[in-house]
Amino acid sequence: MLLMSLTKVTHGFAETPLFREVSFHLARGERLALIGANGSGKTTLLRLIAGHLQPDDGQVWLHAGVHPGYLAQDSDLPAATLLRAVSLVNSGLVAAAQQMERAQDDSTPTGVTVYAEALGQFEALGGYDFELRARELLAKFGFTAEDWAKPVAVLSGGQQTRAALARLLLGEPDLLLLDEPTNHLDLGACEWLAEFLRGYRGAALIVSHDRYFLDQVATGVLTLEHGEVSKFDGNYTQTAAKRAALRSARVKEHEVQQREIERMEEMVTRLRRWAGKGGSLWGQVFSKEKALERLRDAQTAAPPPDPQTMKLRLGEATRTGDEVLAVRGWRKQFGEAFALGLTNFTLRRGDRVGVVGPNGSGKTTFLQTVIGEQPLTAGEQRFGVKVRPAYFAQQLDHLRDELLVLEELAADSPLSAKEARNLLGRYQFRGDDVFKPVGVLSGGERCRLALAKLLLTEPNLLLLDEPTNHLDLPSREVLEGALREFEGTIIVASHDRYLLDALATRMLEIREGQGHLYDLTYREFRAKQLAQSTLPASKAPHAKIMAAPATRAELRATDRAERAGRRQRLSTLEREIGQLEAQLSTLGATLADPATYRNGDAKSATAEFSTVKSRLTALEAEWVGLVDGMAEAVAGTLSA
C-alpha cells in the first residue's frame, strides 16, 4: 500500500533551489535511507513530508489517515519530567495537564470545578492510557522507574534521543521520518533501534551518516545530489557499489561518444578541404555533416562531478620503534564514584585499536589520560621511541571561537598565510570561508578544521575520539581511506561501526570500569559478542555451574524459589493494579458528574482519587522494577 508520494517537488531559493522536480514514493514495509552531502536538503525534504514546510512547487501526498512521525536531529521534548514529556503527545493533553496542576492546590469551589473539568478533558483524551503506555515504552528503551521523575534537561544526549523516540512511537505513526536517529546512541542502543525498525510494520524514511546502521535497516536508498533524487534497491554498501559502477559506465560512454564526435569532426574538415580543390566530394561532406549533427544530438551529458569533499592526505609518518605504548597496572579514579582500570597491554607499530563501550563507560577518559590531559591515578604508561602522539577531541573545545578560521590554523604552525589558505582549501574552506569566525562554524566545519590542525603536527600515533561525528558521508569515506593508508598507529573511540569494521585490527572494550584488549577485528569481536548473547540456556555459561558439586542442588533450589517468588509477586501486583485502575476510572466518572458538586461530595472524591492514583503509581513502579530485575537476571545468566 502506498503511504506517501512526492510529485515534481521544488523547494529552496528562487534562482538556486535545493532540489528541483523531485519525485518518489514510499510504500508500507519500505525503509528508505536518504543520503547526500551536508547542505543538500535532506532535512528540508523530511520537514516537507512532515508538513512543517510547504513546497514552492509540486505536491506532497499522504494517503488518507496516514499519520507521519518526525524525529528531528535535536531533541524537541517539552521542558518537563521524563514521563510527562513523553506521555503528553498532543497539545490538548498538555493544556489539560497544565490546568490540573494549577488547580490541584485550590480547594475553593471554583478551583475544584476547574480541576474536575480539566480532569474530564484529560481522561477524554486518553491521558492515563497514554501515561501507562509511555511507562511501558520507556522501560523498553532502558529507562527505570527512578528515571521517570527526572527533568528532561538533566538527561544525556543519548537518553533524550531515546525519550524522543519513545514519544514519537507513542503516537503510533504510520510513517517514520527519522533525522540522524543514532546521534548520541551507544552501540547497544543502535543495535536495538535497528532491530526495532526491521520489525516495524509501517514505512520509514531515514537520514543518517551511520553507514553500518543503514546496511542493517535499509531496503532501498535515495540519493540527493545536485538537486535530484535517484532511487536504488538494496542497502548502503550495495548502493555505493551500484552508483560507482553506474558512474563509471556513464563516464566511459561519454568518452566513447566524444572520441567518435572528434573523429567525425576531423573527417568533415578533411573532406571540406579536399572538396574545395574542385573535387566531387561535396555530397559526402553534406552526408558526414548530417551524421555529425545526429551524433551531437544523441550524445549523453557528462556525469556531474562528485560533491566536493576533503582532499585528505596524512603523509608519511616517522617510523617509531616496534613498541608504541605500554600500559601496566593502569588506573584512573574520579573521587568515589567512578574508576577505570585496564589490563596490561602493549601497542605495536601499525596497530589500529578500536575502542568501544556504552556511553559514559570512560572511552574519552582513557584517551585523555593516555595523551596526558588527565593525570593517571595509579600504574604507568610509557610511549616508545620516536612516538609523536596527537589527540582529536570529540567536543572540539580546543578551537578558539574568537579567532578566524585562517588565524586558528596558522596560530600554532609555521605556515605562511598563502600556505595556510591552500591547506584549508583541501578541507573545503574556500574563498571567504577562511575569514569566518570559528564560533559560527557548523559541526562539520569545526571537525574539518580540527583535523587540519591535528595533521599539521605530523603525528605517528593518532588518538581519535569520535572523528566522524558531524562529517557527511563523502567526508567520512575520505577520512576512512586516509586512515587506512596511514603508516602509523591509531587508537580510535567511535560509534561508527562502518569505520571500525574497515579499520580496527584490535578491539579495546571498556565496560563497568574495566578495559580489555582483544586481538580481533571489529567483525570478529562483534561475532563473538553475538555468539555469547544467543547461546541456548542449556549451553550458556552460568555462574552457578562453576560452584562446588556439593552446593549445586542448593543453588538450583534457591534459584527456583527466587523465581517463583518473583512470579507470584508479579501476579499479585497485576491483580491489584487492575483493581486500582477500575477504581480510578469510577472516581473519574464521579468527578466528571455535575451532581457530585451539587451534593458537596467533590472534595472527598478528589482526595480519594489522589490517594488511589498515588497507590497505583507506586505499584506500577514496583511492577516495572520487578520486570527489570527479572530481565537483568536472565541477561546475567546469559552473559556470565
Q: How far apart are CA 369 and CA 385, in angstroms?
A: 19
- Average pLDDT of the chain to the nearest whole number: 80
Residue appearing with cell numbers 493544556: 95
Q: What pLDDT is attached to residue 93?
A: 64
Q: What is the mean pLDDT of residues 437-453?
A: 82
Q: What ranges in 384-521 are assigned the alpha helix state H? A: 405-411, 417-426, 443-456, 473-485, 497-503
Q: What pLDDT is attached to residue 278?
A: 58
Q: What pLDDT is attached to residue 49?
A: 93
Q: What pLDDT is attached to residue 492?
A: 95
Phi-psi region of 462 (alpha: psi -120 to 50; beta: other; left: phi over 0): beta
Q: What is the DSSP code string of 617-633?
A: HHHHHHHHHHHHHHHHH
Q: How far apart are CA 571 and CA 403, in angstroms?
A: 64
Asked whether residue 636 carries a pLDDT value surpassing 50, the answer given is no
- SS3 letters for 301-370? CCCCCCCCCCCCCCCCCCCCCCEEEEEEEEEEEECCCEEEEECCEEEECCCEEEEECCCCCCHHHHHHHH
Asked if residues 493 and 466 have their Cβ atoms less than 8 Å apart, the reply is: yes
Asked whether residue 15 carries a pLDDT value surpassing 80, the answer given is no
Q: What is the mean pLDDT of residues 217-237?
A: 89
Q: Which of 84-88, 128-132, 431-435, 553-557 has the lowest mean pLDDT?
A: 553-557
Asked if residues 47 and 18 have their Cβ atoms less than 8 Å apart, the reply is: no
- Segment 305-354, tens digit of pLDDT: 665 566 666 767 788 889 999 999 888 887 666 678 888 889 999 999 99
Q: How far apart are CA 112 and CA 161, in angstroms?
A: 38
Q: What pLDDT is attached to residue 24?
A: 92
Asked whether residue 559 carries a pLDDT value surpassing 50, the answer given is no
Q: What pLDDT is attached to residue 455?
A: 80
Q: How far apart are CA 152 and CA 171, in angstroms?
A: 19
Q: What percent of the chain has pLDDT over 90?
A: 19
Q: pTM to 2 decimals?
A: 0.63
Q: What pLDDT is attached to residue 13?
A: 67
Query: What is the SS3 assignment for 47?
Result: helix
- SS3 letters for 473-491? HHHHHHHHHHHHHCCCEEE
Asked whether residue 524 carries a pLDDT value surpassing 70, the answer given is yes
Instruction: Choose among 389, 579, 415, 413: nearest CA to 491.
Output: 389
Query: In degrees to the nearest 10, what's the CA dihedral of 465, 469, 471, 475?
Result: 40
Asked whether residue 189 carries a pLDDT value surpassing 80, the answer given is no
Asked whether residue 503 carries a pLDDT value surpassing 70, the answer given is yes
Q: What pLDDT is attached to residue 279?
A: 60
Asked if residues 137 and 166 have their Cβ atoms less than 8 Å apart, the reply is: yes
Q: Which of 245-254, 375-384, 396-405, 418-427 has the lowest mean pLDDT?
A: 245-254
Q: What is the mean pLDDT of residues 185-211?
A: 86
Q: What is the mean pLDDT of residues 469-485?
A: 83
Distances 141 to 4, 137, 627 between C-alpha atoms, Å: 28, 6, 14
